[in-house]
């Protein structure tokens, strides 16, 4: 396997790992699928729909998100937002993330 | 927009009914949002090629539909180690049972090649059923979140029998098992070509003496228990306290039986007219030597088993 193949694979795994945290953080504000994807992409995290939409459904099933179907511009859209459980989970996971980030920065120095 | 419609129609076919409309609405909103944004940016309508590229980026309908559904595997990583062990044990058991049953049916006089092909076909046939059944059980266990804590319960003390020094080869155990089954069949006169009559003619007959009857049942019991322990070892492919202690007891019992056999007045009985006697007496003497040698080998193997199994118990 080429060097860049390795780094590509690792980058994907890395993004997959932080994706949940990014989605939870972004859904502190209400979004529907496409607007969430656009927001994440504008902040540097470009995720394809095939990954993002099933993920937000799973998070909803786990009780971390709440959703509501609404009609907007003659089109049905499903809007997602953090639930109460999701908010406390986000707080905890954010703290964990900062710990990991600090530890990793120390290791990478 | 027909391309998008066709894409969504195709995607729906891979989804369960209760998800179809939901997913379609969600993806329609997303795809149309992307089309509108791109058209606004370009100041014109998207071409068919551009829409095709957009859909290609989303992925094959089958893959996208699959990502929406839970349980994209038969057995997940949490259950997989237990599944693999269960499958290994079940298949080993299937192999042993199929071979043992086939050996007994093979005695009906079919050719060795025919029996071999039959055993292979039976193992394959039964093995596939067992594979499917074990996989189904674990799939259901995972679907219903079955508790595996008892399966994964362990203690470092239990791991001593898995050390490299106590390795147990399935191939070796398998050969031991086949040899034991064949011996048991011969001992019980089930194999027609190997009867107690060692030499027989119209006028003379050389066979095992009547003394052997005194050890008939004890030999049967020891070999049968040996086969049972052999199956247990073959299935688990590891030693444990039970198999080691059982083998030590069986080896001791074997030594006792050998001591009993050595007390026999004669190993071979001769039933022949006087004129054939001189030749047959020599033959009997030869057989006596063979039997003594066999007994010596069996006694040595049993003594070695007692010694090595006792050492393994102390590991």
Q: How many CB pairs under 8 A join A and B?
A: 48
The per-residue pLDDT for range B218-253, each reduced to its tens digit, is 999 999 999 999 988 888 888 888 899 999 999 999
**Residue B12 — very low, low, confident or very high, per pLDDT cuts 50/70/90?**
very high
Model pTM score = 0.61
Range of the domain at A76: 3-108
Whether residue B87 is predicted with pLDDT greater than 60 in this model: the reply is yes
> Is it the case that residue B97 has pLDDT exceeding 70?
yes
Is A67 near chain B, with CB under 8 Å? no
CB contact at 8 A, B158 and B95: no
d(CA B267, CA B288): 7
Of B23, B29, B59, the CB nearest to A34: B29
A62 touches chain B (CB under 8 A): no
**CB pair distance less than 8 Å for B29 and A32:** yes
Distance separating alpha carbons of residues B109 and B190, to the nearest angstrom? 11
Shortest Cα distance from A41 to chain B (angstroms)?
Answer: 13
Cβ of residue A50 closer than 8 Å to a chain B Cβ: yes
The H or E element containing residue B69 is none
CA of B60 to nearest chain A CA: how many angstroms apart? 10
Task: Say whether pLDDT at B306 is over 80.
Answer: yes
Q: Residue A54: which of B33, B34, B68 has the nearest Cβ?
A: B68
Helices marked H in B43-111: 48-58, 61-68, 80-106
Chain A residues with beta carbon closer than 8 angstroms to that of B26: 33, 53, 77-78
* Tokens 């001769």, located at residue: B270
pLDDT at residue number B106? 64
Q: Is the pLDDT of residue B194 over 50?
A: no
Contact across the interface for A49 and B33, Cβ inside 8 Å = no
Q: Specify whether the CB–CB gap between B268 and B207 falls below 8 A.
A: yes
Residue B178 near residue B103 (C-beta atoms within 8 A):
yes
Nearest Cα to B52, choosing from B107, B102, B120, B6? B6
Q: Which of A38, A48, A78 sits opposite B26 (nearest CB)?
A: A78
Return the structure tokens found at A6: 């390795």
**Which secondary-structure segment (H or E) carries B33?**
helix B17-42
Calpha distance B152→B131 (Å, rounded): 21
Q: Which residues of A touch B58 (CB under 8 A)?
A: 48-50
Kindly list the residues from chain B whose CB atom is less than 8 angstroms away from the CB atom of residue A78: 22, 25-26, 29
Indicate the average pLDDT of chain B: 84
Q: Chain-wide mean pLDDT for chain A?
A: 90
SS3 content of chain B, % helix, strand, coil (to 5): 75, 5, 20
Look at chain A and report how many structural domains it folds into. Answer: 1
Question: Looking at the complex, does the CB of residue B59 fall below 8 Å from at least one CB of chain A?
Answer: yes
pLDDT of residue B119: 82
Chain B CB within 8 Å of residue A78 CB: yes
* Residue B276, pLDDT above cutoff 60: no
Contact yes or no for B22 and A58 at CB 8 A: no
Q: CA–CA separation, B202 vs B154, rounded Å?
A: 67
The DSSP element (H or E) to which B313 belongs, if any, is helix B277-313
């Amino acid at each position: 396997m080429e060097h860049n193949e390795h780094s590509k694979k690792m980058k994907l795994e890395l993004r997959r790992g932080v994706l949940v945290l990014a989605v939870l953080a972004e859904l502190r504000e209400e979004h529907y699928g496409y607007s969430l994807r656009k927001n994440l992409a504008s902040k540097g995290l470009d995720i394809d729909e095939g990954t993002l939409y099933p993920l937000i459904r799973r998070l909803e099933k786990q009780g971390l998100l709440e959703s509501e179907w609404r009609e907007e511009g003659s089109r049905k859209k499903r809007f997602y937002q953090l639930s109460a459980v999701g908010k406390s989970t986000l707080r905890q996971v954010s703290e964990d993330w900062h710990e990991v980030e600090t530890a990793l920065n120390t290791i990478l120095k | 927009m027909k391309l998008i419609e066709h894409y969504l129609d195709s995607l729906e076919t891979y989804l369960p009914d209760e998800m179809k409309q939901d997913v379609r609405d969600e993806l329609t909103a997303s795809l149309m949002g992307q089309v509108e944004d791109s058209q606004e940016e370009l100041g014109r309508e998207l071409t068919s090629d551009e829409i095709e590229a957009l859909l290609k980026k989303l992925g094959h309908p089958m893959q996208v539909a699959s990502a929406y559904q839970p349980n994209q595997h038969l057995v997940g990583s949490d259950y997989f180690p237990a599944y693999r062990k269960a499958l290994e044990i079940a298949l080993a058991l299937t192999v042993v049972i199929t071979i043992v049953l086939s050996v007994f049916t093979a005695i009906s006089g079919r050719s060795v090649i025919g029996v071999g092909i039959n055993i292979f076909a039976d193992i394959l046939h039964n093995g596939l059923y067992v594979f499917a059944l074990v996989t189904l059980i674990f799939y259901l266990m995972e679907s219903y979140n079955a508790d595996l804590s008892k399966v994964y319960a362990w203690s470092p003390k239990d791991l001593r029998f898995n050390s490299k020094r106590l390795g147990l080869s399935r191939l070796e155990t398998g050969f031991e098992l086949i040899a034991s089954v064949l011996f048991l069949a011969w001992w019980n006169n089930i194999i027609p070509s190997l009867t107690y009559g060692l030499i027989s003619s119209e006028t003379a007959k050389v066979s095992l003496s009547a003394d052997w009857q005194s050890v008939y049942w004890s030999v049967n019991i020891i070999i049968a228990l040996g086969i049972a322990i052999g199956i247990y070892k073959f299935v688990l492919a590891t030693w444990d306290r039970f198999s080691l202690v059982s083998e030590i007891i069986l080896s001791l019992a074997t030594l006792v039986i050998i001591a009993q056999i050595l007390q026999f007045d004669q190993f071979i009985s001769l039933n022949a007219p006087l004129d054939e006697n001189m030749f047959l007496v020599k033959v009997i003497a030869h057989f006596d030597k063979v039997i003594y040698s066999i007994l010596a080998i069996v006694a040595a193997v049993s003594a070695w088993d007692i010694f090595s199994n006792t050492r393994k118990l102390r590991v």
